[in-house]
């Protein structure tokens, strides 16, 4: 098993997605919709519950309550990295 970066922060987004920031400064989007029909994650269909997501002590995962959580490896492996957009510099009038 490899060493995965620890989680620094997590932020709930629209459409049952999460923005996860790892200790290497990398941000990923994790789509939770595939989990919502599994018994362990049914409660996340409720927006109030979904929005209560937080980072577990030590950054080894995230949780919504004592029974509903995800590991840093799941989020790292299956999250989609947010690529920074490089915009061309603005042209100044001469």
pLDDT digit string (tens) for 32-82? 999 999 999 999 999 999 999 999 999 999 999 999 999 999 999 999 999
Residue 86 reports pLDDT greater than 60: no
Q: Tokens at residue 10, please? A: 């997590």
User: Is 65 within a domain?
Assistant: yes
Structural domain containing residue 17: 7-81
| CATH code of the domain containing 53 | 3.30.2020.10
In a domain, 45, yes or no: yes
What pLDDT does 13 receive?
A: 97
In a domain? residue 86: no
Residue 92 falls inside a structural domain: no
Report whether pLDDT(7) > 90. yes
Q: Please give the tally of structural domains in the chain.
A: 1
Higher pLDDT, 10 or 2: 10
d(CA 19, CA 24): 14
Which pLDDT belongs to residue 72? 97
Residue 24: the pLDDT is: 84
* Cα end-to-end distance, the chain, whole Å: 58
| Amino acid 15: pLDDT | 96
Minimal CA–CA distance to 23: which of 4, 38, 42? 4
Kindly state the average pLDDT of the residues 16-22.
97
């Amino acid at each position: 098993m490899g060493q995965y970066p620890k989680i620094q922060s997590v932020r709930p987004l629209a459409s049952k997605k999460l923005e996860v920031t790892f200790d290497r400064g990398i941000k990923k989007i994790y789509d939770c919709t595939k989990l919502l029909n599994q018994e362990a994650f049914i409660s996340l269909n409720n927006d109030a519950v979904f929005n209560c997501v937080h980072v577990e002590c030590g950054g080894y995962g995230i949780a919504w309550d004592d029974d509903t959580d995800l590991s840093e490896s799941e989020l790292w492996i299956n999250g989609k990295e947010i690529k920074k957009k490089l915009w061309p510099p603005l042209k100044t009038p001469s």
